Chains A and B, each alone.
Chain A
Amino acid sequence: DTGVSQNPRHKITKRGQNVTFRCDPISEHNRLYWYRQTLGQGPEFLTYFQNEAQLEKSRLLSDRFSAERPKGSFSTLEIQRTEQGDSAMYLCASNPSGRNDEQFFGPGTRLTVL
C-alpha cells in the first residue's frame, strides 16, 4: 500500500496523559499536513511541513501540541496533558512540493480522552 498511513488508528487515553501519533506520507511527497476533525465538522488545518521545516501553525495548535518531521519523511504529533476537548479524528495528508492543492489523506487516528 503506497498511500498515507497513520498509527495508531485508535487511541483511548485518560485526561492529563500524553499521546503521540505517527504519520507516514506517500513516499517522495515533500509536504505533510495535520488536520483535526470533530464530529459533524470538516477537517480543520493544524500545521504543515515542507521536508523537515514546519512552515505554518494554526491558532488551533495550542502550546500542548507539538509536531515534528525530523528527517523530512514521517511525522509525529504529540499532545501533552490531554483534555476531553482534544477528542477528535487527527488526519494527516501529503502532496508533492509545488502541488499544494491536491492533498491525499491518511485514514486518521481517532483519539478519545476520558
Chain B
Amino acid sequence: GQQLNQSPQSMFIQEGEDVSMNCTSSSIFNTWLWYKQDPGEGPVLLIALYKAGELTSNGRLTAQFGITRKDSFLNISASIPSDVGIYFCAGLRDGGSQGNLIFGKGTKLSVKP
C-alpha cells in the first residue's frame, strides 16, 4: 500500500541533543499526525497538524505542516533516554478516504545516556 517517505530511518544520538526528522509525499495531505511507538505497543499520538504552515508544540516536541502540504517535520529538543522508540508520521490524503491514515515507515531513535 501507499506509504509516506520518512527519514532518516534511524538515528543514534547523545542525550541532550536535538533531533529532527521529516516526512514527504508526492500527494497533498489535509492532516499530518506524529505518533511514537514503543516495542510491542500501539502508536501513541504526539501531535496533530491541520493547516499548511502550522507549527505546533507539545513539550519538547515541535512539528510543522509544510507549506506545500506535501511534507511535515518533527523536532525533539534536549533528548532524554525515554525518547527512545519509533516515530511515525501519518496523514490523511486530500481527496482520499475518510479515516484511512497513511503511515511512513518510521524513524527509530536511540539515545545514548
Contacts and interface: CB of A to CB of B under 8 A. Distances in A.
A21 B45 CA distance: 23
Interface stretch (A11-19, A64-72, A74-82, A102-110): A102-110
A88 to B, nearest CB: 13
Given A40-B105, A42-B106, A45-B1, A100 B98 contact: yes
A2 interface: no
B26 interface: no
Interface in A56-114: 56, 58-60, 91, 93, 95, 100-108, 110
A55 B100 CA distance: 11
A107 B42 contact: yes
A4 interface: yes
Query: Range of interface residues on chain B?
Result: 20 to 34
B105 A42 contact: yes
A44 B106 CA distance: 13
A31 interface: yes
B44 A42 contact: no
Contacts of A101: 31, 33, 48, 50, 92
Interface residues of A, number: 30
A54 to B, nearest CB: 12
B52 to A, nearest CB: 15
B101 interface: yes
Contacts of B43: 43, 91, 105
Contacts of B100: 45, 48, 56, 58
B90 interface: yes
Contact of A105 (B6, B44, B99, B106): B44
Interface of A: 4, 6, 31, 33, 35, 40-45, 48, 55-56, 58-60, 91, 93, 95, 100-108, 110
